[in-house]
Amino acid sequence: MVTIKAGKAKPVRYIDPTVDCVFKRILGSEEHKYLTLHFLNSILGLRGADRIVSLEIIDPYNEAAFIGAKAGVVDVKVRDGGGNVYQIEMQTTVRPHMEKRFIYSWANNAVGCLERGTYYSHKKDTIAIWLLAENLYDTPVLDFFLGFYSPKIKQWLSKRDGIHVVQLKNFSENVRLNRAKAAWIRFFREG
């Protein structure tokens, strides 16, 4: 999109940050790692001792576990200094069976968090963040967490492993968010 203002001003060119290659360049490149760090801390609301202070951009390709299995490719995949894995996805269109895609993609990343011979107690967290340009559910809720919780026994299996969904369409200036989170959501919604 090119916007031309009245007078002799030069055209202002906007690059849509939701376009796959642009999104990956912003959050998945080594040279912009500091942006990824800020994005994760802002979207996940991590502060103080919980903040991510270092991360490594890792290969977004998840090899198939056996012949004939579906390999997985994510937009951005990083590991923090504690070994936790974060998957960041941008989806401009919500397709049928999106929830199954969430689960498959998250599980593919979780499998790689534990090496052979390692105790289960050493398994690191696997956290997915999906930014959706269209709403997945017919709700005014901007962001929500899909995790491992049993309402029947009121018990979490894990409070961090899971999928964070941000429905960009539901963002408005009236939604109460921390400034950094609001800025990131506005950026991906409005460009």
Partnered with residue 167 across adjacent β-strands are 132
Q: How far is CA 79 from CA 12, 33, 49, 89, 178, in A?
A: 36, 11, 17, 15, 24
Distance CA 161, CA 106 (A): 9
The structure's pTM equals: 0.85
User: What tokens appear for 117 in the block?
Assistant: 């011979």
Burial pattern 135-152, b for ≥16 Cβ within 10 A else e, equals bbeeeeebbeebeeeeee
Per-residue pLDDT of the chain (191 residues; tens, 9 = 90+): 545 455 566 666 678 999 988 999 999 999 999 999 999 999 999 999 999 999 999 876 655 554 555 556 778 999 999 999 999 999 999 999 999 999 999 988 888 777 778 888 888 899 999 999 999 999 999 999 999 999 999 999 988 999 999 999 999 877 788 899 999 999 999 88
